[in-house]
A and B are shown apart, each in its own frame.
Chain A
Amino acid sequence: MTVAEQPEALTFECETGNYHTFCPISCVAWLYQKIEDSFFLVIGTKTCGYFLQNAMGVMIFAEPRYAMAELEEGDISAQLNDYEELKRLCLQIKRDRNPSVIVWIGTCTTEIIKMDLEGLAPKLEGEIGIPIVVARANGLDYAFTQGEDTVLAAMAARCPNKIIESEKDERNPIQKLLNFGQKKEDTDQAESVFVDHPPLVLFGSLPDPVVTNLTLELKKQGIQVSGWLPAKRYTELPILEEGYYVSGVNPFLSRTASALMRRRKCKLIGAPFPIGPDGTRAWIEKICSVFGIEPKGLDEREAQIWQNLEDYLQLIRGKSVFFMGDNLLEISLARFLIRCGMTCPEIGIPYMDKRYQKAELDFLEKTCHEMGVSVPRIIEKPDNYNQLQRIHEIKPDLVITGMAHANPLEARGINTKWSVEFTFAQIHGFTNARDILELVTRPLRRNNNLKDLGWDKLVAEEAQV
């Protein structure tokens, strides 16, 4: 045997930040759908509106509960009064849509002209009688999914504190309506399947089916989820008291996590994220360990899922994947794909919170060692031009990238998967592991179908980068 090699540790590099990603205001696209009684008002320019209009595609025609407050020259030069203008628009929104909350999304322009949204909101809120939540989801500070982080961090401040006894019945009127006819004993009985543990609130916006699914997974371990931030409706935001436990379901929620810890005095359970069966299991185990619960049946559960994935795993085993980086899901996805048997030379990521993602990073390192592959280089704030040079050099089997580079790479014979799909697809929990691989293997399956046609490079040689 040769000299025992010290297992390599993760390395972090930082490039120029010249990369393509979505503007964080895109979070309104999924958040207005998630929070059903909300209205999102993006205070910005034509550029912001143009982006949303094009990025949201057909959703825009479905009478979305979002709009632009389009700033005009008079607003920029302060010839118009911000407060009066916003009041006029918010009253119009109140009249037409009557939402339970208006979320103001601050943009680059409001930052530069220093419009005091946080100062205006409470005043206007008092005047028009609708809560106004301010989130500064701008491209100066954040990338893509971090937009949700800024909104949820602002929402965290609005979660009710200890519930007043007399209000108890009034909260959740809809839930009450749904439980109509259900006897009190049934509810008590239902609650008895849970172990006695301190309240747990999960944070991160997920489609309702995934919420049900993850809640059910924890229920199997006797863990009760007291609430989700965000809930289906603004009026149903979960109660947060000092000492509650919280856990994140997505890797890009570091501001929300610190808001919950510092301002709401909650205890954060730092765990890998429930993406992939390995991640889901580690997530559940970590929560169980905090509550002193012995997890049951996870071994078989995970093994069963892996077994069901075998047909997909055969397609990707031994192949390499390159993440250009744009949505902060990269670490968790890479970790899962390495466990699937892939190699990963590079993980690009817009922003790396090493504290919030600590458990996930450790898990990634461990996974690499267990699978006997070298650890990926993690590149924060990547430079897309440099990345393209590296891609053309190492020719990975799959590049996970934004739409700006997907077609040009395909034309040069390199398989790509559009990264934004991972943000909108259901990828959390045991059940959805198949959906992740469905996405990852799609280009490979397509190319298996086309491989004998002999036209994999469709660009003139001199046009290469």
Chain B
Amino acid sequence: MKLAYWMYAGPAHIGTLRIASSFKNVHAIMHAPLGDDYFNVMRSMLERERNYTPVTTSVVDRNVLARGSQEKVVDNIIRKDKEEKPDLIVLTPTCTSSILQEDLNNFVERAQIDSKGDVMLADVNHYRANELQAADRTLHQIVEYYLKKAQKKGEIPEGKTEKPSVNIFGMTTLGFHNNHDCTELKRLMADLGIEVNEVIPEGASVHNLKNLPRAWFNLVPYREVGVMAAKYLQEQFAMPYIDITPMGIVETARCIRMIQKVLNEQGANVNYEDYIDNQTRFVSQAAWFSRSIDCQNLTGKKAVVFGDNTHAAALTKILAREMGIKVVLAGTYCKYDAEWFREQVGEYCDEILISEDNGEIGDAIARLEPSAIFGTQMERHVGKRLNIPCGVIAAPIHIQNFPVGYRPFVGYEGANQVVDLVYNSFTLGMEDHLLEIFGGHDTKEVIHKGISAESDLNWAKDAKAELNKVPGFVRGKVKRNTEKFARERGLSEITLEVMYAAKEAVGA
């Protein structure tokens, strides 16, 4: 048992659901107790999704506990198959159902007989894998399933596309800025004259998976999701994959040069050096920013970076290598993949922290007193408490991290966005600091009579106590409305009764 207040990566089934619901026309059925379908709320709220989330629950209740699911799961699968006609139904176990040890595979086989669509059991151990590992695994599982199926039927198209082409792996629902990143990568590929063959899983149809081998190579921008599927394609179809995250100017160039190498090995004869040079020096603002006086002021400032592997590693490199900022600590919560992280950031930071315990990270931040933090929402709140600005760079994230405007993190536009994020975090901190030195804002004092909070009315003790229970941000309004009510009626003392009467009258 572990005492835990907060977790960075969610439970395994969330990862499976993120993959399943990213595909078009794929439905997930959770084998779970009532209330475990919280995923639907998150997707509907955070992504502001217009469509019903294609996830339902085959509810595990007392009866199931006593007698087993029996026909229930099978019936639910067949019912969903009829109602929504999905291409694929993914039966998703949860931590609860996995200790019941029901033969879910058997249910899937039985349901398959009567279903028009395909039925599959997500093969994930809930006590060993977290959300990210499960997502990687489920994507691999679905890709493998459909490629094997196509192989058996002889439906895999022969040969490669005429022009160089790419599959982009790992774009998922509820991924940090994934949809913007996807648009940016497509633009980048268009600039490089590379056709995008398939993007998976976001928006993809399972019917198209058989076309995956037609691409010249696979691009896996995120360390967490897509590597397993890319490796599978490499083994089975000898497709090369590139797992360099094009985040930051230097890494983007490295990624593009690797693409150049992979394509030229297949006889494309491309040279992207001019493109890289032009983008770096004139189109993107990030390289120029590093030379500008603004950035000079950041030299040697201390920062702490914490997040998932992809974003924490990329940000550490950008800060240290492209902006001259001193990264005193870089950390990740991807404990299962710690080796990779150490290797990536080893030379760019003073200290490495691999931990899933938010208390440990909070303590480290308090000890190091950086000028800025780049982390998850949890680190943002640590920053609030310690008065240190924080830029959010990785999940777990809130609704404000699903911006409507265009905010990629990858590619050349992504580099611009990261510059703004970093610079705004530091200047905010500077401004605060200067204000303190010069005695702070003076606007808390009342200047205009109009917003004065003073009054000539007498508040009874109990009413005053009641007023103090009103949340701070509306207390002033409640007070003013109540006093207005009292004045209009010529009451000089405000008692509890007067307060309630005022509320009833005006909704104070």
Q: Using CB atoms and an 8 Å cutoff, list the residues of chain A in contact with chain B.
A: 17-24, 43, 45-47, 49-51, 53-55, 57, 60-61, 64, 66-73, 75-76, 80, 85-86, 88-89, 92-93, 108-109, 111-113, 138-144, 208-209, 212-213, 216, 304-305, 308, 385, 388, 402-408, 411, 430-431, 433-435, 438, 458-459, 463, 465
Contact = CB atoms under 8 A, between A and B. Distances in A.
Size band of the interface chain B makes with A? 35 or more
B11 A46 contact: yes
Contacts of B474: none
B268 interface: no
Given A403-B41, A408-B51, A465-B52, A73 B127 contact: yes
B44 A403 contact: yes
Contact of A209 (B36, B45, B398, B469): B469
A141 B64 CA distance: 11
A411 B50 contact: yes
A43 B3 CA distance: 9
A423 B173 CA distance: 29
B95 A46 contact: yes
Contacts of A385: 56, 83
A17 B61 contact: yes
B56 A144 contact: no
Interface string B36-80: 111011101100111111001111111001000000000010000
B504 A431 contact: yes
Contacts of A213: 500
Nearest to B125: A73
A55 B36 CA distance: 12
B261 interface: no
Contacts of A85: 1
14 contacts: A23-B34, A45-B96, A50-B10, A53-B7, A68-B5, A70-B2, A72-B2, A112-B100, A140-B34, A143-B35, A209-B469, A216-B497, A385-B56, A459-B50
A144 B76 CA distance: 23
- List the 3 shortest-distance A-B pairs measured between CB atoms, nearest first: A23-B35, A139-B33, A404-B40
Q: Which of A20, A24, A70, A403 is most buried by chain B, counting CB atoms within 10 A of its CB?
A: A20
Interface in B387-423: 396, 398
Contacts of B76: 18
A24 B35 contact: yes
B51 A51 contact: no
A93 B448 CA distance: 49
B52 A80 contact: no
Given A92-B3, A404-B53, A407-B48, A50 B14 contact: yes
B1 A86 contact: yes
B503 interface: yes
Contact of B504 (A55, A208, A430): A430
Contacts of A459: 50-51
B96 A108 contact: yes
B507 interface: yes
B466 interface: yes
Contacts of B41: 20, 54-55, 402-404
Q: Which of B49, B100, B507 is most buried by chain A, counting CB atoms within 10 A of its CB?
A: B507
Given A68-B3, A76-B99, A113-B99, A21 B51 contact: no
B447 interface: no
A18 B59 contact: yes
B51 A47 contact: no
Contacts of B58: 18
A204 B57 CA distance: 31
Given A18-B57, A402-B41, 12 more contacts: A20-B41, A23-B36, A46-B11, A49-B7, A61-B381, A67-B3, A69-B2, A407-B45, A407-B49, A434-B503, A463-B50, A465-B52
Given A61-B381, A385-B83, A407-B45, A70 B34 contact: no
A399 B45 CA distance: 17
B4 A404 contact: no
Contacts of B32: 139
A71 B127 CA distance: 9
B473 interface: no
A438 B48 contact: no
Given A139-B34, A458-B50, A212 B466 contact: yes
B9 to A, nearest CB: 9
Contact of A305 (B53, B56, B497, B504): B504
Contacts of A144: 35
B35 A53 contact: no
Contact of A403 (B34, B45, B96): B45
Nearest to B2: A70
B496 interface: yes
Contacts of B59: 17-18
B61 to A, nearest CB: 5
A281 to B, nearest CB: 14
B50 A53 contact: no
Interface in B78-100: 83, 94-96, 99-100
